[in-house]
């Protein structure tokens, strides 16, 4: 190891780095069991509180375990988010034509057009 590597702790990871875990196997099992039983944001918040971890850390661990289900995105009014491209696809399928430049129209105008069909 040269001088700079020693100063900045660059180089081969130490044995302590390789064995360090943020979550024990028991904690992972408890987290997985509780989340699978009730896959909601409230469960994630409770797990974060219970184990003294951040919500993002809990979500990341559950994602790595393959059990986390992302919550659907909603607007301020609680409605599901609909992209303009999806609205254009509905219009195109209704008329049987392709109008890709319609995506440039405002979302409100596209929705009004769909509502009038």
Residue 89 lies in a domain: yes
What is the tens place of the pLDDT at every residue in 20-76? 688 899 999 999 999 999 999 999 999 999 999 999 999 999 999 999 988 888 888
First-residue to last-residue Cα distance in the chain = 72
**How many domains does one find in the chain?**
2
The confidence score (pLDDT) of residue 117 equals 78
Q: How far apart are CA 114 and CA 117, in angstroms?
A: 5
Residue 101 lies in a domain: yes
The confidence score (pLDDT) of residue 72 equals 82
What is the tens place of the pLDDT at every residue in 77-108? 888 888 999 999 999 999 899 988 998 999 88
The confidence score (pLDDT) of residue 58 equals 94
Q: What is the value of pTM for the model shown?
A: 0.55
Cβ neighbours for 113, distance < 8 A, ≥ 6 positions apart = 91
Tell me phi and psi for residue 80, to 5 degrees.
Answer: -65, 150
Query: CB-side exposure of 116: number of CA atoms within 13 Å?
Result: 6
| Same domain flag for 67 and 94 | no
Residue 1 has pLDDT above 90, yes or no: no
User: 44 is in which domain, residue-wise?
Assistant: 24-71
| Same domain flag for 67 and 92 | no
Bridge partner residues of 80 (DSSP): 74
């Amino acid at each position: 190891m040269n001088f700079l590597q020693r100063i900045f702790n660059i180089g081969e990871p130490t044995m302590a780095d390789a064995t360090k875990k943020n979550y024990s196997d028991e904690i992972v099992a408890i987290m997985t069991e509780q989340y699978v039983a009730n896959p909601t944001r409230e469960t994630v918040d409770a797990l974060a509180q219970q184990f003294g971890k951040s919500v993002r850390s809990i979500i990341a661990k559950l994602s790595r375990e393959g059990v986390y289900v992302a919550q659907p995105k909603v607007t301020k009014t609680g409605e599901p988010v609909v992209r303009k491209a999806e609205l254009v696809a509905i219009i195109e399928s209704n008329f049987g034509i392709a109008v890709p430049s319609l995506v440039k129209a405002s979302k409100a105008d596209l929705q009004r057009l769909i509502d009038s069909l």
